[in-house]
Structure 1
Amino acid sequence: MLAELTIRNFAIIDSLGVSFNKGLTVLTGETGAGKSIIIDAIGLLIGGRGSSEFVRYGTAKAEIEGLFHFDENHALMQKCEEFGISASDGMAVLRREINENGKSVCRVNGKLVTLAILKEIGQTLIDIHGQHETQFLLQPEKHLFLLDSFAGKEFALLLTKYQETYAHYVDIQKQLKNLTENEQQMAQRMDLLQYQLEEIDAAGLKENEDDELQEEKNKLSNFEKLYKHLHDSYENLYGDGRGLDLVSNALAELSAVSMIDDDLRKKEESLATCYYALEDLAFQIRDSFESLEYDAGRLNEIEDRLNEISKLKRKYGHTVKEILNYAESIRKELFVIQNKDENIDALKKKHEKIKEKLSAEAAKLSNKRTKHAAVLKEAIQKELKELYMEKTQFDVMVEKGSFSGEREFGPYGMDDVEFYIAPNPGEPLKPLAKTASGGELSRVILALKSIFTKHEGVTSIIFDEVDTGVSGRVAQAIAEKIYRVSSDSQVLCITHLPQVAAMADTHLHIAKDTEGSRTVTKVTALGSPEKIQEIGRMISGVEVTHITKEHAKELLDLALHFKQTS
């Protein structure tokens, strides 16, 4: 759940800190007070698209920070482990800063993350449903994903298996297409590959050859410098009266007294070891400069060879290894082209075999979808009855193949899924996207949220004025439904309905005020008297009378009775 939210320099918000509790939290206030601005801030906190317009005028950046609590089995744990983020204490702190140039800085538990990662993590914590988001119900292609999500983990495993097979199927199709394309293009491609392969093979490249040649070139180019310094190094060690002579003298002096003290004997042995090591090193240095030979012809050969390799690198790869790998890849491609007919026959056999496998897996998906569609249909029907749509018929249609009539494989199987509805008795079922009114769509989406809350495991759900356009007993039903959703997930709800406000476990009032010459937004947690006053304002709209307060108190009493008995 979202426990704390801090907002600074965001839109008309100067500085705001809000604590949230479990259950249903309602946010109310006059239009334009800043209720939706708070929801916008939460949306940005979980990866929404930001811009410089969100930064409060006259400030350098907007800052949003949220503290979330979650249990050890929450999907967030897997996401944090995937991205290397520490989250072992059941708490996550998401932070986002938006600079005046529109760029964002995102952190999760103090670790810098990309906006994409913030979004992945945020989507496991909060589901924001705004008054305009019912639009996704008007897009039939989204209905399949809703059904698949409802189907659960077992179905997800089947879908993953199908998609692996589908990827193989698509790859074979691509290979077949490449082999059966225009003959002239194929001949031109073969000529090009043959030329490239001959050029690389003619060079006779060896892996790491360029590094070895460069090392040899450096030695030849610095012959005089190498010889002089190696020779001088040897002379300083082994010349008369030089390093080794002085060490030898020191060893002789120490040997003269080593028998007197065990400690001195150990020092003599250590110095003797060092002397013989230095002597051996001196001989190695002597061998190094004596073995040096300058060969101007060899230096020219190396430079020519490096130039040849450099030309090949410009064409085929940054390293000799990459060039050799490219040669191997085009060798295989040439073999396929040169043996085109045989390869086409082999690929066609593979294609038929994988098609049979894909068809069987697609059939399993279809069967599972059909079964889960029936369950989802019954669950939605039940929810709609509680929202005073008891006479409404709802169905989840699974079309095996496609609505266009052409049966073909896709990344999600061979099915199309679409929700159908008949709001009035005696009418046939018709596509939801073409039939449902705005109020009906709001109730369908609330029914779906009630069902999916148990499947998605989202910590918090936000409803931003989803109750717009309803009243009377439907408003009461929506209030009861939103409360029931809050029993499984924390719910934050912006509302103008007094029935919903009365159901709140926590009631926050949002108001706009002026400090100096600037407008600021303030949030106040309401106690019982303030709740009556605010709900009375929501009922009357203008003047809160004694009768209005009595009505507000009655709504609160009815809400309390519902909570205690439901």
Structure 2
Amino acid sequence: MLTHLNLMNFALADNLAIDIEQGFNVLTGETGAGKSLLLDALSACLGERTDTNYVRYNAEKADVTAVFSYQANSPEAEWLKTHELDDESGEIHLRRVIFATGRSKAWINGRPSSLAELKEIGRLLVQLYSQHSQQQLLEPPYPKHWLDRYSNFHQPAQEVRESFNAWQKNIRTHQAAIDAQANRLQRIATLELQLEELEDVIRIDYKEIEQEFDRLSHHEHIMQDCGYSLNVLDESEQNISQEISSIIRRLESHAGRSEQLTEIYNSLVNAQSEIEDAAANLRQFIDRQSFDPERMDELNTQLEIFHRLARKYRIQPDELKQQFETWQAELAQLHQLQDPETLAEQVELSHQTFLEKAQYLDQIRREAALPLAKHLTEQVKQLALPEAHFEFKFEPLEQVSGEGLSFIQLLFTANKGIPAQPLARVASGGELSRIALVMQVMNAEKTEAEVLVFDEIDVGISGGTAEIVGRLLAGLGQHVQILCITHQAQVAAQSDQHLLVKKQQTDPASSTIIELEEDARIQELARMTGGVEISETTLQHAKQLRQLKFQ
């Protein structure tokens, strides 16, 4: 659960620290006070997009930290362990720094992290529902997704998508085989001729024969230069070997008198050894060289073949071997290419697999739809819609897809005796907001996240309806931690912790968040119900709202 939030230079917050309790927590305050401040900061810590507007006026950066506690065997614990971010504290520290330049940095438990990692861990910790979520109800895929999520059909739905993709892939492979079949034999014949032409040539190392030919072509010059070099090094009257030996003898007696002379002496001794080795190798090289005109003609013929084939296939001579291997691989692939009939069988098998999984998914969806629609009806009826009725409608798709065999619609009617129609067609704005709220609460009952955030989802309701919404959230708060921004006193009265957001006219202006004790809660509830002037009547009404929580 979320235990602590710390905001520094974040929007209207100068230096704000707040502890969050377990259960149902509400944030209230006058319009413009900055009620969304805490949720914006939390979103930043969860890897959501930020901008420079979050940096307080005249500040260089905003700094936000969110602290969560977690259980040892929870999904977030496994995530931390996998990423080597777990520690003995049993806490998760998510930190985000936003610079006035637009850049931002993130940390998880003190280690620099990416926004992608923040989002990954964030999805395990927090689920956010906003007042705009009702628009999702109007999107055609939403009823199916909601049904799958509430009924925990993720795995069978994923298997249907995977089997559909496998079926489609086999269709494409089969068609490619049909297209390739006509040219296959001709291509095989061409490759076999080309490979036969290169078969003898690629056994020869082009670079080796090129170097050997170059050496024979310059044989006379090589012998002259090597003879001269050997003479200077070791065979003339004043050769280098003798001269360096003389130098070494002169310096040997002085080497111990200076570290620098010692280094010079050692270097010369090493040089003498290198020169002697070079002279011996050079003498050996000269002795082994001989000019062979027949070998030179043979090499010339081989090089001509290399160059002719290279021109023919428009590549470099030393690339012929690689080209040979490429053609070999292509030929092997063509020989292994399954005929269209075999692939057609695979298409049919994968189609049957898809149909089996899709029919099973369609069946369990239909079985779950009736009780789910009934449960939704019962919940919505409490929100001043006594004649509400829901049902799911399954229509076979003209063309099946990875989403299943049926198009699923959520039908609704708010009036007795009138048949249910598609929700988007008949529900008013107020009805949509109440339906969305109930569906979100029902979804929240199934989520693995331990923190649920509701951002003004009770817009458009009031009175007894708001009271029932408050009870729904309070009941949910017994199982998970809830943060809720609300304008409804009936909702706020049901909370376990009441946080008041107030704007202070400092220079520049700033917001603060105060945890209200019981007397202060009564005052705030009275303000929410009665406006600026708080009378004894509004105070009594606020007390009655609080008493309802404990009944």
TM-score over 0.5 (shorter chain):
yes
Q: 2:459 matched to 1:468?
A: yes
Q: Which amino acid aligns with 1:475?
A: A
CA apart distance, 1:95: 1.6
Within 2, Cα distance between the matches of 1:290 and 1:446?
Answer: 96
CA apart distance, 1:519: 1.1
Q: Is 80-89 or 521-530 further displaced after alignment? A: 80-89
Question: Is the contact between residue 150 and residue 455 of structure 1 (CA under 8 Å) also seen in structure 2?
Answer: yes
Matching of residues 183-332 of structure 1 within 5 Å: 202=198, 330-331=330-331
Aligned CA distance change for structure 1 residues 529 and 355 (closer, same or farther; 3 Å): same
Q: Could you tell me the TM-score, scaled by structure 1's length?
A: 0.73
Within 2, Cα distance between the matches of 1:162 and 1:9?
Answer: 49
Q: Does the residue aligned with 2:483 lie in a helix, a strand or coil?
A: strand
CA apart distance, 1:28: 0.7
Q: Deviations over 1:472-528 (max 9, x none)?
A: 211111111111121111111111111111112111110111223x01111111112
CA apart distance, 1:199: 9.0
Within 2, Cα distance between the matches of 1:542 and 1:197?
Answer: 95
- Which residue of 163, 166, 182 corresponds with 2:161? 163
Within 2, Cα distance between the matches of 1:451 and 1:101?
Answer: 42
CA apart distance, 1:394: 1.0
Aligned CA distance change for structure 1 residues 522 and 168 (closer, same or farther; 3 Å): same
Within 2, Cα distance between the matches of 1:515 and 1:419?
Answer: 51
Within 2, Cα distance between the matches of 1:442 and 1:427?
Answer: 21
CA apart distance, 1:101: 3.4
CA apart distance, 1:438: 2.5
* Map of 1:268 onto structure 2: none
* Map of 2:221 onto structure 1: none
CA apart distance, 1:459: 0.9
Q: 2:116 matched to 1:116?
A: yes
* Map of 1:414 onto structure 2: 405
Aligned CA distance change for structure 1 residues 420 and 200 (closer, same or farther; 3 Å): farther
Within 1, Cα distance between the matches of 2:477 and 2:207?
Answer: 67
* Structure 1 residue runs without a partner (length 5+): 217-223, 243-283, 562-566
- Which residue of 514, 521, 539 corresponds with 1:549? 539
Q: 2:440 matched to 1:442?
A: no
Instruction: Determine which structure has more spread, i.e. the larger CA radius of gyration.
Output: 2
Question: Is the contact between residue 95 and residue 107 of structure 2 (CA under 8 Å) also seen in structure 1?
Answer: yes
Within 2, Cα distance between the matches of 1:433 and 1:176?
Answer: 42
* Map of 2:376 onto structure 1: 380
Q: Which amino acid aligns with 2:135?
A: Q
Q: Which amino acid aligns with 2:63?
A: E
* Map of 2:348 onto structure 1: 352
* Map of 1:257 onto structure 2: none
Within 2, Cα distance between the matches of 1:108 and 1:193?
Answer: 61
Q: Does the residue aligned with 2:446 lie in a helix, a strand or coil?
A: helix
Matching of residues 8-27 of structure 1 within 5 Å: 8-27=8-27
* Map of 1:261 onto structure 2: none
* Map of 1:46 onto structure 2: 46
CA apart distance, 1:414: 2.3
CA apart distance, 1:420: 1.6
Aligned CA distance change for structure 1 residues 437 and 346 (closer, same or farther; 3 Å): same
Aligned CA distance change for structure 1 residues 343 and 510 (closer, same or farther; 3 Å): same
* Map of 2:523 onto structure 1: 533
Identity of aligned residues (%): 27
Within 2, Cα distance between the matches of 1:328 and 1:115?
Answer: 47
* Map of 2:450 onto structure 1: 459
CA apart distance, 1:80: 3.1
Q: 2:135 matched to 1:135?
A: yes
Within 2, Cα distance between the matches of 1:100 and 1:196?
Answer: 67
Q: Deviations over 1:437-474 (max 9, x none)?
A: 22222222232233223321211111111111111211
Q: 2:357 matched to 1:361?
A: yes
CA apart distance, 1:428: 1.1
Within 2, Cα distance between the matches of 1:204 and 1:444?
Answer: 79
* Map of 1:7 onto structure 2: 7
* Map of 2:90 onto structure 1: 90
Q: Which amino acid aligns with 2:454?
A: F
Q: Does the residue aligned with 2:56 lie in a helix, a strand or coil?
A: coil
CA apart distance, 1:205: 11
CA apart distance, 1:27: 0.6
CA apart distance, 1:531: 1.0
Within 2, Cα distance between the matches of 1:211 and 1:72?
Answer: 64
CA apart distance, 1:86: 2.2
Question: Is the contact between residue 193 and residue 330 of structure 1 (CA under 8 Å) also seen in structure 2?
Answer: no
Within 2, Cα distance between the matches of 1:349 and 1:416?
Answer: 29
Aligned CA distance change for structure 1 residues 324 and 35 (closer, same or farther; 3 Å): farther
Q: Deviations over 1:365-413 (max 9, x none)?
A: 11121122223223222322333434211123333x32xxx132x2233
* Map of 2:512 onto structure 1: 522
- Which residue of 172, 189, 193 corresponds with 2:170? 172
CA apart distance, 1:83: 3.9
Question: Is the contact between residue 395 and residue 420 of structure 1 (CA under 8 Å) also seen in structure 2?
Answer: yes
* Map of 2:55 onto structure 1: 55
Aligned CA distance change for structure 1 residues 378 and 393 (closer, same or farther; 3 Å): same
Q: 2:482 matched to 1:491?
A: yes
Q: Does the residue aligned with 1:542 lie in a helix, a strand or coil?
A: coil
Aligned CA distance change for structure 1 residues 429 and 180 (closer, same or farther; 3 Å): farther
Q: Does the residue aligned with 2:466 lie in a helix, a strand or coil?
A: helix
* Structure 2 residue runs without a partner (length 5+): 213-224, 234-240, 249-276
Question: Is the contact between residue 445 and residue 476 of structure 2 (CA under 8 Å) also seen in structure 1?
Answer: no
Within 2, Cα distance between the matches of 1:211 and 1:515?
Answer: 81
Q: Is 467-476 or 431-440 further displaced after alignment? A: 431-440
User: What's the Cα RMSD here?
Assistant: 4.9
CA apart distance, 1:333: 5.5
CA apart distance, 1:2: 0.8
Question: Is the contact between residue 136 and residue 142 of structure 2 (CA under 8 Å) also seen in structure 1?
Answer: yes
Q: Which amino acid aligns with 2:141?
A: E
Within 2, Cα distance between the matches of 1:138 and 1:523?
Answer: 36
Aligned CA distance change for structure 1 residues 325 and 500 (closer, same or farther; 3 Å): farther
CA apart distance, 1:138: 1.2
Within 2, Cα distance between the matches of 1:24 and 1:200?
Answer: 80
Q: Does the residue aligned with 2:26 lie in a helix, a strand or coil?
A: strand
Q: Does the residue aligned with 2:519 lie in a helix, a strand or coil?
A: helix
Q: Is 552-561 or 350-359 further displaced after alignment? A: 552-561
Aligned CA distance change for structure 1 residues 172 and 39 (closer, same or farther; 3 Å): same
Aligned CA distance change for structure 1 residues 105 and 332 (closer, same or farther; 3 Å): farther
Question: Is the contact between residue 437 and residue 458 of structure 2 (CA under 8 Å) also seen in structure 1?
Answer: no
